[in-house]
Structure 1
Amino acid sequence: MALQDQPAYLIKMRAKPGLGDKLFALATEGMEKSGSSDRFIIAREDADPDVLWNMEVFRSHEAKDAYENSPLADELRDEIIELLAEPPMRIEVHPYSALPDGPA
Structure 2
Amino acid sequence: MTLQNQPAYIIKMRAKPGNGDKLFELATIGMEKSGASDRFIILREDDDPDVLWNVEVFRSIEAKESYETSALADELRDEIIDLLAEPPMRIPVHPYSALPLDPA
TM-score between the two structures when normalised by the length of structure 2: 0.97
Ranges in structure 2 where 5+ consecutive residues have no aligned partner: none
Distance across 2 between alignment mates of 1:60 and 1:5: 6
Name the structure 2 match of 1:67: 67
Q: For residue 80 of structure 1, what is the aligned residue in structure 2?
A: 80
Query: Shift of the alpha carbon at 1:99?
Result: 1.6
> CA offset at residue 4 of structure 1?
2.7
Structure 1: tracts of 5 or more residues without a match:
none
Task: State the one-letter code of the partner of 2:40.
Answer: F
Q: Distance in 2 between the 1:61 and 1:96 partners?
A: 16
CA RMSD of aligned residues (A): 0.9
Identity %: 82
**8 Å Cα contact 1:13-1:89 kept in structure 2:** yes
Q: State how far apart, in whole Å, the 2-side matches of 1:87 and 1:102 are.
A: 37
Dislocated runs of 4+, deviation >6 Å: none
Question: Quick check: 1:90 aligned with 2:101?
Answer: no
Q: For residue 8 of structure 2, what is the amino acid of its counterpart?
A: A
**1:51 corresponds to which letter in structure 2?**
V
**SS where residue 43 of structure 2 aligns?**
strand
Q: Partner of 1:90: helix, strand, or coil?
A: strand
SS of the aligned residue for 1:63 comes to: helix
- Whether the 8 Å contact between 1:4 and 1:97 is mirrored in structure 2 is no
Partner in structure 1 of residue 44 of structure 2: 44
Report SS of the residue matched to 1:26.
helix
Shift of 1:5: 2.2
